[in-house]
């Protein structure tokens, strides 16, 4: 099972094969290990071989979905014609691919317009892998944002059997190899090291046991204690959201265009929904999160305790709460100048600035999109859940949604009552951490500026607690479905709203550091 | 229980390191796995070649009475035709149990695996009871994975089929008839393009119907006979000069382009005008579209046929591939005036309209250059060796022959298997399906797999049609 067409041959697991004795040719046995979670983040290894001048000469992939399969090995051979050959070997650990777009290098942007979409359009000038005159370019390539990408130089000498060992570090996920510059990430996020500065040792002892998962993907407990709740109508308790690594976003949620020419806010002031991809790896620090959406009573108490200056950030409804859809949203607002019987309702009709001021007043902040999505997809299992309660498809009993006007299914659950519901009505909308009302009732303001994940703002973000921050964007992100949506979006769904708007579908909750 | 690779070599990373021993001296079973499935070849597919329907294999070995595979008994391999053709095999050695060992094979497409779970409806799965392990030496056990069994597991852990000792027959890889790209034996009429028959995965995780239900990937394996399809959407002139020109089914152009009346965007006029006759026909009932196509000896495309073509015969996201649609890639997102309603995505590209232009379906030049398309349909073309097909992604949505039924209806549910041959949903509902994006639609409507529904007796300016006609399948020689 050897091919002789090329000076460097890539053969898999040769030493295992029955009866195959290696010819006395030059060979380097390369073992590869990773500290990334298997198979959550890494389930395949892609091996691309380039000759010293950069010509692509081979491509191969292996399924390695079990921790026991690491470290794995492969051999690189030399033919009989040469005393010595040098190969560049690109190793990528990943689990997901996209159609081949040319493997083009994508650096993390610095500065520039945060709204600019950084695209990598496919073109005809993409590199091709040609073997024996046949085009054997793989039809897919690993998703760069979710791949650990490493370039090594392997020197094969005639009649010598050498070994080399490579570890693919989770810290390097999303930091692409720069083939032109011959640099790649060794073990520090967003730092590419020239090949010559990091030569591989030959002849080292090859480890048999995998190093296992590294610290980046380990859960991290909260430091400090969450604030205990003081009960209804305040519902002000906190829960700890343990830190950890997860994949932020969803490749499946395609909302529309994100071409750079597209408008975010159209002439009717409608905010275009953004895609939930490209996905990225996020390492979330532990934090405390409000168990419930901030209630009317809790906000009123804050005013008594000294929160001020928010007169223009909040819409009061001094009449009764609407029981049916009407032309005006004021009757759908829960806040009232004097306490009515709605103090236990979540607060809506507040601007982003008003919501953030409340959180800041108590030493916290609005959750970032990543914090919110992380919290909303923790159902208690190890795998990212689509809904706070797990993977069950939502019904009217799971969460408060579709309680609006009879149009396009917006009234699917109207038989259970119109509009926003009191906090205690969220019986089943509970995450594994005990966070209530993430999926429905009110949509919730996020801290972030509402930008495409393909924008410079997001592309520039590190692994740790990524967020797109702009000082005063027109539109802020909000997360979660509400009484006014026709369905419950999965945790990665994204929406935006003008930061200055007061909307009866939007409320908020706060988070606090727990480092 | 240890599974190791035998000769010839599987391209897989097994527990292999310099210290690893060779095959054990104790008795072992050599599994010879084969399939008729269309798996990747070692060479890149030509543009017209069937894309691989399966490319991965999961092998699990279960000890007697165990419901879970033993810890080192789970292997996933990349399937390629050349490995199967050279008689790929896998050795299973027993370090204890000699009888009652079961093996489960699951063949699937890696792109269908989201996370750790393999959806059984898109897999070919076989569970077999292995013969008694020999005391020493190896015995051959062939196992065959038939594509026809997709979504219909063969054997279960409780009732496995019995695998027998036999010399492995020659590989049948890539012989499944459904995946043979069959051309058209008869000639297309003017304006038609031959679409070779073949197999594809219908459905897309990004389509709205699939993304709302995380439980099921929603893919269906579909085979289609070859057919002819109109290269362009049927125009006003086509209808006026062809069959089915019945005003009963048509809403007429209002006569102005002010954007204050939905009929401002309708194409059809009662008296011929050279200019409007080249516009694609819209504002026509489903029955009107059918009448025209049947008068030409054809019919409307089925949902499956449309998705096959709009996905470039290989289930692409969009006709051009995976790039997110840009405003000039196709005619979409240009809602204007009363056409825009209240929804935002419809107006994403309205800024691309020239002053005074209210949007709407646009005409193709009489002889469009498929190799050098122009805005606003830079990429809305499928170029096949048999010809070019235009405006599949957008311009107008297009009526299909099917009643609209959800994926869990009798029409589309996975029953005996997940294999659908030339499917058409004939189960009546209130609405007919239409496919493809349209000038006032959002980008997600451009997905080849996105499904839409409309009352059949409505004449709306977003909706037109094209026709298909069955082809005589080209003669194929058995190999």
Higher pLDDT, A265 or A34: A34
How confident is the model at residue A201, as a pLDDT? 65
Beta carbons of A270 and B76 less than 8 Å apart: no
Hey, is A423 helix, strand or coil?
helix
- Confidence bin at A273 (pLDDT 50/70/90): confident
Looking at the fold, whether B114 and B216 belong to one and the same domain comes out as no
List of chain A residues whose C-beta atoms are within 8 Å of the C-beta of residue B323: 121-122
List of chain A residues whose C-beta atoms are within 8 Å of the C-beta of residue B345: 255-256, 272-273
The ipTM (two decimal places) reads: 0.74
Most confident of the ranges A347-361, B2-16, B99-113 = A347-361
How confident is the model at residue A120, as a pLDDT? 60
Beta carbons of A69 and B443 less than 8 Å apart: no
B286 within a domain of the structure (yes/no):
yes
User: How many angstroms separate the CA of residue B17 from the nearest CA in chain A?
Assistant: 6
Looking at the fold, whether B63 and B163 belong to one and the same domain comes out as yes
Looking at the fold, whether B120 and B208 belong to one and the same domain comes out as no
Beta carbons of B215 and A393 less than 8 Å apart: yes
Q: What residues of chain B, 445 to 474, have a C-beta less than 8 Å from chain A?
A: 447
pLDDT tens profile A415-445: 999 999 999 999 999 999 999 999 999 999 9
B106 within a domain of the structure (yes/no):
yes
Measured between CB atoms, which of A136, A259, A270 is closest to B344? A270
B420 within a domain of the structure (yes/no):
yes
Beta carbons of B351 and A31 less than 8 Å apart: no
pTM of the model: 0.84
Closest-CA residue in chain A for B74?
A: A66
Beta carbons of B13 and A386 less than 8 Å apart: no
Instruction: Tell me which of A160-164, A387-391, B23-27, B87-91 is least confident.
Output: B23-27
How confident is the model at residue B44, as a pLDDT? 63
B477 within a domain of the structure (yes/no):
no
Beta carbons of A62 and B215 less than 8 Å apart: no
Hey, is B8 helix, strand or coil?
coil
User: Is the Cβ–Cβ distance between A105 and A179 less than 8 Å?
Assistant: yes
Measured between CB atoms, which of A13, A251, A252 is closest to B13? A13
Looking at the fold, whether B10 and B86 belong to one and the same domain comes out as yes
B181 within a domain of the structure (yes/no):
no
Nearest to B173 by CA among B28, B57, B61, B92: B57
Mutate to test the interface with B, among A99, A137, A254, A263 (most CBs of B within 10 A): A254
How confident is the model at residue A22, as a pLDDT? 45
Looking at the fold, whether B243 and B164 belong to one and the same domain comes out as no
List of chain B residues whose C-beta atoms are within 8 Å of the C-beta of residue A393: 212-215
Looking at the fold, whether B128 and B255 belong to one and the same domain comes out as no
List of chain A residues whose C-beta atoms are within 8 Å of the C-beta of residue B350: 266-267
Cα(B436)–Cα(B434) distance, integer angstroms: 7
Q: Is the dihedral of CA B116, B119, B123, B128 positive or negative?
A: positive
- Angle of helix A296-304 relative to helix A352-361, nearest 10 degrees, comes to 60
Beta carbons of B325 and A74 less than 8 Å apart: no
Measured between CB atoms, which of B10, B214, B343 is closest to A391? B214
Looking at the fold, whether B402 and B314 belong to one and the same domain comes out as yes
How confident is the model at residue A126, as a pLDDT? 80
List of chain A residues whose C-beta atoms are within 8 Å of the C-beta of residue B25: none
A300-306 average pLDDT score: 97
Cα(A39)–Cα(A466) distance, integer angstroms: 23
| Domain boundary residue, one of B145, B175, B205 | B175
Looking at the fold, whether B145 and B196 belong to one and the same domain comes out as no
Measured between CB atoms, which of A99, A137, A254 is closest to B206? A254
Q: Residue A402 half-sphere exposure, CB side, CA atoms within 13 Å?
A: 21
pLDDT tens profile A442-489: 999 999 999 999 999 999 999 999 999 999 999 999 999 999 999 999
* Composition of chain B by helix, strand, coil, percent to 5: 15, 25, 60
DSSP per position, B201-250: EE--TTSHHHHT-TT----EEEEE--EEEESSPPBHHHHHHSTT--GGGB
Cα(A299)–Cα(A347) distance, integer angstroms: 8
Mutate to test the interface with B, among A1, A256, A390 (most CBs of B within 10 A): A256
Closest-CA residue in chain B for A14?
A: B9
Beta carbons of A18 and B350 less than 8 Å apart: no
Nearest to B316 by CA among B119, B467, B450, B468: B450
How confident is the model at residue A265, as a pLDDT? 84
Looking at the fold, whether B25 and B60 belong to one and the same domain comes out as yes
> What are the φ and ψ backbone dihedral angles of A372, each rounded to 5 degrees?
-65, -50
Looking at the fold, whether B365 and B435 belong to one and the same domain comes out as yes
| Domain boundary residue, one of B110, B142, B175 | B175
User: How many angstroms separate the CA of residue A62 from the nearest CA in chain B?
Assistant: 6
B370 within a domain of the structure (yes/no):
yes
| Domain boundary residue, one of B140, B175, B210 | B175
> Across the A/B interface, how many CB contacts are shorter than 8 Å?
190
Beta carbons of B327 and A257 less than 8 Å apart: yes
User: How many angstroms separate the CA of residue B238 from the nearest CA in chain A?
Assistant: 33
> What are the φ and ψ backbone dihedral angles of A216, each rounded to 5 degrees?
-60, -30
Hey, is A196 helix, strand or coil?
helix
Query: Is the backbone of residue B287 left (phi > 0), alpha (psi -120 to 50) or beta?
Result: alpha
Cis peptide before B116 (omega within 30 of 0): no
Our count of domains for chain B comes to 2
- Confidence bin at B155 (pLDDT 50/70/90): very high
Nearest to A378 by CA among A225, A247, A217: A247
B279 within a domain of the structure (yes/no):
yes
A86-110 average pLDDT score: 88
pLDDT tens profile B323-363: 888 889 999 989 887 777 655 567 788 888 888 899 999 99
Looking at the fold, whether B153 and B218 belong to one and the same domain comes out as no
Here the CATH number for the domain that contains residue B455 is: 3.90.1580.10
Per-residue pLDDT at B387 exceeds 80: yes
B171-199 average pLDDT score: 94
B367 within a domain of the structure (yes/no):
yes
| Average predicted confidence (pLDDT) for chain A | 88
Looking at the fold, whether B202 and B164 belong to one and the same domain comes out as no
User: How many angstroms separate the CA of residue A223 from the nearest CA in chain B?
Assistant: 31
Beta carbons of B215 and A44 less than 8 Å apart: no
Whether residue B431 lies within 8 A of chain A, CB to CB, comes out as no
- Confidence bin at A18 (pLDDT 50/70/90): very low
B115-129 average pLDDT score: 87
Per-residue pLDDT at A15 exceeds 50: no
Whether residue B343 lies within 8 A of chain A, CB to CB, comes out as yes
List of chain A residues whose C-beta atoms are within 8 Å of the C-beta of residue B14: 13, 16, 69
| Residue labelled with tokens 């892998």 | A129
List of chain B residues whose C-beta atoms are within 8 Å of the C-beta of residue A386: 214
Residue B112's domain comprises 2-175
């Amino acid at each position: 099972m050897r091919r002789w067409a090329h000076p460097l041959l890539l053969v898999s697991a040769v030493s295992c094969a029955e009866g195959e004795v290696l010819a006395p040719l030059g060979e380097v046995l390369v073992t590869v290990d990773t500290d990334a979670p298997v198979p959550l983040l890494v389930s395949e290894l892609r091996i691309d071989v380039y000759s010293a001048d950069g010509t692509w000469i081979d491509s191969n992939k292996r399924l390695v979905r079990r921790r026991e399969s690491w470290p794995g090995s492969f051999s690189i051979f030399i033919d009989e014609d040469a005393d010595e050959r040098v190969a560049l070997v690109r190793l990528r650990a990943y689990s997901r691919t996209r159609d081949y777009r040319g493997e083009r290098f994508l650096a993390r942007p610095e500065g520039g317009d945060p709204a600019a979409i950084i695209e990598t359009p496919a073109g005809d000038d993409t590199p091709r892998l040609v073997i024996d005159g046949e085009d054997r370019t793989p039809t897919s390539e690993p998703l760069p944002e979710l791949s650990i990408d490493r370039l090594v130089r392997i020197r094969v000498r005639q009649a010598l059997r050498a070994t080399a060992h490579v570890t693919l570090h989770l810290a390097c996920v999303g930091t692409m190899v720069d083939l032109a510059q011959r640099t790649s990430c060794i073990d520090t996020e967003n730092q590419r090291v020239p090949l010559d500065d990091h030569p591989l040792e030959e002849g080292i002892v090859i480890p048999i046991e995998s190093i296992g998962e590294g610290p980046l993907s380990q859960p991290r407990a909260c430091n400090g204690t969450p604030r205990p709740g003081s009960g209804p109508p305040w519902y002000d308790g906190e829960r700890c959201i343990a830190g950890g690594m997860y994949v932020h976003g969803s490749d499946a949620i395609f909302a529309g265009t994100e071409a750079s020419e597209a408008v975010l806010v159209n002439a009717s002031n409608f905010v275009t929904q953004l895609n939930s991809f490209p996905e990225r790896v996020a390492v979330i620090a532990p934090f405390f999160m409000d168990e419930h959406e901030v209630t009317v009573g809790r906000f009123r108490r804050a005013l008594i305790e000294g929160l001020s200056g928010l007169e223009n950030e909040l819409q009061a409804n001094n009449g009764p709460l609407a029981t049916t859809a009407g032309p005006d949203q004021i009757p759908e607002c829960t806040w009232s100048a004097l306490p009515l019987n709605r103090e236990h309702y979540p607060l809506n009709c507040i601007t982003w600035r008003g919501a953030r001021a409340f959180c800041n007043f108590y030493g916290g902040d609005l959750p970032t999109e990543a914090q919110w999505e992380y919290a909303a997809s923790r159902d208690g299992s190890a795998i990212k859940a689509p809904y706070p309660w797990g993977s069950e498809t939502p019904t009217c009993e799971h969460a408060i949604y579709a309680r609006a006007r009879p149009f396009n299914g917006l009234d699917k659950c109207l038989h259970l009552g119109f509009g926003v519901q009191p906090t205690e009505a969220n019986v089943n909308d509970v995450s594994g951490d005990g966070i209530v009302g993430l999926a429905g009732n009110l949509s919730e303001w996020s801290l972030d500026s509402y930008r495409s994940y393909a924008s410079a703002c997001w592309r520039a973000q590190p692994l740790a607690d990524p967020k797109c921050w702009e000082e005063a964007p027109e539109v802020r992100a909000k997360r979660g479905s509400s009484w006014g949506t026709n369905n419950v979006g999965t945790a990665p769904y994204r929406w935006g709203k003008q930061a200055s708007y007061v909307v009866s579908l939007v409320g908020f909750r706060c988070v606090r550091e727990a480092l | 229980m240890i599974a190791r690779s035998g000769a010839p070599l599987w391209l897989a990373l097994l527990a292999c390191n310099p210290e690893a021993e060779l095959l054990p001296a104790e008795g072992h079973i050599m599994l010879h796995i084969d399939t008729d499935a269309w798996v990747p070849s070692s060479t890149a597919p030509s543009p017209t070649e069937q894309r691989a329907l399966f490319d991965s294999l999961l092998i699990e070995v279960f000890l007697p009475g165990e419901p879970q595979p033993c810890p080192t008994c789970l292997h996933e391999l990349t399937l390629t035709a050349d490995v199967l053709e050279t008689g790929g095999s896998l050795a299973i050695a027993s370090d204890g149990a000699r009888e009652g060992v079961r093996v489960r094979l699951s063949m699937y497409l890696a792109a269908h695996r989201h996370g750790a779970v393999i959806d059984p409806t898109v897999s070919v799965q076989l569970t077999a009871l292995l013969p008694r392990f020999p005391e020493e030496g190896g015995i051959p056990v062939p196992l065959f994975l038939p594509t026809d069994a997709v979504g219909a597991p063969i054997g279960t852990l409780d009732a496995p089929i019995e695998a027998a000792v036999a010399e492995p027959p020659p590989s049948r890889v890539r012989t499944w008839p459904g995946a043979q790209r069959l051309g058209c034996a008869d000639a297309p009429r003017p304006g038609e393009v031959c679409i070779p028959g073949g197999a594809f995965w219908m459905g897309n995780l990004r389509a709205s119907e699939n993304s709302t239900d995380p439980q099921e990937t929603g893919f269906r394996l579909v085979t289609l006979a070859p057919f002819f399809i109109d290269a362009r959407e049927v125009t006003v002139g086509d209808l006026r000069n062809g069959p089915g020109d019945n005003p009963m089914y048509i809403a007429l152009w209002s006569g102005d382009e002010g954007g204050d009346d939905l009929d401002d965007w309708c194409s059809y006029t009662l008296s011929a005008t050279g200019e409007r006759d080249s516009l694609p026909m819209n504002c026509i009932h489903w029955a009107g579209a059918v009448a025209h196509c049947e008068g030409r000896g054809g019919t409307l495309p089925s949902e499956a046929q449309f998705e096959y073509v709009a996905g470039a015969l290989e289930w692409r996201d969009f006709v051009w591939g995976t790039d997110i649609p840009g405003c000039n890639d196709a005619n979409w997102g240009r809602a204007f005036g009363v056409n825009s309603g209240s929804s935002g995505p419809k107006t994403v590209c309205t800024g691309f309209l020239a002053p005074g232009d209210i949007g709407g379906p646009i005409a193709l030049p009489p002889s469009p250059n498929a190799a050098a398309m122009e805005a606003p349909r830079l990429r809305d073309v499928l170029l096949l060796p048999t010809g070019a097909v235009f405006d599949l992604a957008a311009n107008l949505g297009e009526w299909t022959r099917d009643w609209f039924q959800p994926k869990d209806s009798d029409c589309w549910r996975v029953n005996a298997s997940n294999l659908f041959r030339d499917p058409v949903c004939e189960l009546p509902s209130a609405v007919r399906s239409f496919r493809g994006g349209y000038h006032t639609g959002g980008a997600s409507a451009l997905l080849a797999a996105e499904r839409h529904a409309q009352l059949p007796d409505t004449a709306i300016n977003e909706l037109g049609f094209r026709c298909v006609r069955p082809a005589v399948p080209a003669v194929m020689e058995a190999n």
